[in-house]
């Protein structure tokens, strides 16, 4: 077990967690699992979230301050945002194409539709309430929300990661503009903080297989009695999964083929532990420390690029979430008997792309943004009740795509900036 690569350890933890969950659900060990197993998974996620803000802040300052001039920052930033937007639009379009071809909503019986709406009515109400204030805000509200009025307050909540990123970039730009002799000690301080936090990541990851076991064991127990619902929503789930696979197996390899010299198999080996963790936590923010470590140490991406591109990606690049929103919106429309015209589907493309920018990198945020997408095309937001039963597993899968997209863009930007080194086979496999 000691000699196994980290991603194999995580996979074993995942499989054992699923097996335990199935056995626990059958044996009636629900209380034992919730009281003695599940808390360890929560602790593991909390440890990752604990270091997310200081890591983003320190790494961004280190990355930005290491740039020789502001023009270089604007060039890297322009490439990053441009590729992120391109991949998001591609994801939404793929989702729309698949859902229009398969038409999963038309397979829903009226009885099953009413059953699901009644069963998940309270949860749907919560998400609608959460999205209500967002829906009424102006088109530039996400820009307003990006600028914090109080940095200490912003850094106290992982949902405000974009505000932390804004201040860190501003701090780094100011350091670049000042003479180097005035910032030497500050730069050394943040370099040291960044190295310490990365070491903490290594320590936390020693417990990753056990944390993943606890997370999945608890999840399977929670949904152990919902087999019929999973079957009823099978076609919808397959449609979403097919779209997510297209992103991972077609779009991202194409990006790497065109812009880099890295083989996709090598890329996959390098990023696999981050993907496994993304699946387990359903959180791009919680996975961010590991994503950065894998890109730098196992894919050869420079700290300068990874410290800028990846924190930004964890906040604004939600390819998997955007694709899911497109499929879910049309699915719900089909289930309710609505035929969406081209204009309404183009509205989905625009709304899902913009909503993904403002979506928090935490579990369940995509569902809130889906309410906004549904409202934009005039569909009753209560329709989200139809997909609650399978949303948790799909959330896990789309987070994998989100994280893979972040790593892909980081690798592309690093390659185009000549900021990537060749890694050894040992580094790749470890």
Q: What is the pLDDT of residues 342-384, one digit of tens each?
A: 778 888 887 777 666 555 444 555 666 676 677 667 776 666 7
- The CATH number for 381's domain is 1.10.3860.10
Residues 6+ apart with CB under 8 A from 426: none
**CA angle at 86 for the pair 58 and 54, rounded to the nearest 5°:** 10
Would residue 62 count as lying in a domain? Answer: yes
Question: Looking at residue 97, what is its pLDDT?
Answer: 94
Establish how many alpha carbons lie within 13 A of residue 105's alpha carbon, considering only the half-sphere containing its beta carbon.
24
Would residue 420 count as lying in a domain? Answer: yes
Would residue 111 count as lying in a domain? Answer: yes
Question: Looking at residue 252, what is its pLDDT?
Answer: 96
pLDDT digits (tens, 9 = 90+) for 19-45: 898 899 889 898 999 899 989 988 987
Establish how many alpha carbons lie within 13 A of residue 330's alpha carbon, considering only the half-sphere containing its beta carbon.
31
Predicted confidence (pLDDT) at residue 58 exceeds the cutoff of 70: yes
Residue with tokens 């996975």: 287
| N-to-C CA span, the chain | 13
Would residue 302 count as lying in a domain? Answer: yes
8 Å CB contact between 334 and 378: no
59-94 burial, b at 16+ Cβ within 10 Å, e below that, comes to: bbbbbbbbbeeeeebeebbebbbebbbebbbbbbbb
Would residue 361 count as lying in a domain? Answer: yes
8 Å CB contact between 386 and 368: no
Compute CA distances 324 → 10, 120, 389, 398, whole Å: 25, 19, 15, 7
Closest by CA position to 401, among listed 266, 278, 250: 278
DSSP 159: G
Residue with tokens 């049309």: 330
What is the number of domains present in the chain?
1
Domain that holds residue 285: 6-429
Neighbours of 339 (CB within 10 A): 7
Q: Residue 400 phi/psi, 5° resolution? A: -60, -45
Q: Binning pLDDT at 50, 70 and 90, where does residue 158 land?
A: low
Predicted confidence (pLDDT) at residue 152 exceeds the cutoff of 60: yes
Would residue 1 count as lying in a domain? Answer: no
Would residue 74 count as lying in a domain? Answer: yes
For the chain, helix (H) and strand (E) counts, in that order, are: 22, 0
Would residue 94 count as lying in a domain? Answer: yes
The model scores a pTM over 0.85: no
pLDDT digits (tens, 9 = 90+) for 193-247: 888 887 887 788 788 889 888 887 887 776 554 444 455 467 888 999 999 999 9
């Amino acid at each position: 077990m000691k000699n196994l690569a980290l991603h194999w350890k995580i996979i074993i933890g995942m499989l054992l967690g699923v097996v335990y969950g199935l056995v626990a659900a059958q044996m009636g060990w629900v209380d034992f699992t919730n009281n003695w197993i599940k808390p360890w998974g929560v602790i593991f996620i909390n440890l990752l979230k604990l270091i997310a803000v200081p890591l983003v802040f320190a790494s961004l300052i280190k990355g930005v301050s290491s740039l020789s001039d502001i023009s270089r920052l604007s060039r890297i930033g322009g490439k990053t945002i441009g590729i992120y937007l391109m991949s998001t639009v591609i994801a939404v379009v793929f989702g729309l194409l698949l859902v229009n071809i398969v038409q999963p909503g038309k397979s829903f019986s009226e009885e099953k539709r009413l059953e699901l709406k009644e069963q998940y009515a309270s949860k749907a109400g919560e998400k609608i309430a959460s999205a209500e204030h967002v829906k009424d805000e102006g088109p530039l509200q996400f820009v307003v929300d990006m600028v914090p009025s109080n940095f200490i307050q912003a850094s106290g909540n992982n949902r405000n990661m974009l505000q932390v990123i804004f201040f860190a970039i501003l701090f780094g730009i100011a350091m670049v503009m000042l003479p180097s002799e005035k910032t030497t000690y500050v730069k050394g301080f943040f370099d040291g903080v960044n190295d310490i936090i990365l070491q903490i990541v290594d320590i936390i990851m020693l417990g990753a297989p056990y944390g993943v076991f606890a997370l999945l064991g608890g999840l399977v127990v929670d949904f152990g009695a919902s087999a019929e619902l999973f079957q009823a929503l099978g076609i919808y789930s397959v449609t979403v999964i097919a779209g997510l696979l297209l992103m991972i197996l077609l779009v991202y390899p194409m990006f790497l083929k065109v812009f880099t010299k890295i083989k996709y198999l090598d890329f996959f080996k390098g990023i696999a532990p981050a993907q496994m963790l993304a699946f387990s936590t359903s959180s791009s923010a919680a996975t961010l420390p590991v994503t950065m470590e894998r890109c730098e140490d196992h894919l050869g991406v420079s700290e300068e690029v990874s410290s800028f591109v990846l924190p930004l990606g964890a906040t604004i690049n939600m390819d998997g979430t955007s694709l899911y929103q497109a499929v879910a919106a049309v699915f719900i429309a089909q289930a309710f008997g609505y035929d969406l015209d081209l204009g309404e589907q183009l509205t989905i493309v625009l709304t899902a792309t913009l909503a993904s920018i403002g979506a928090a990198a935490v579990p369940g945020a995509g569902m809130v943004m889906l309410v906004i997408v549904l409202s934009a095309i005039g569909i009753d937001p209560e329709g989200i009740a139809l997909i609650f039963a399978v949303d948790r597993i799909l959330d896990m899968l789309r987070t994998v795509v989100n994280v893979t997209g972040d790593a892909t863009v980081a690798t592309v930007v690093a390659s185009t900036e000549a900021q990537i080194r060749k890694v050894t086979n040992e580094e790749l496999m470890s």
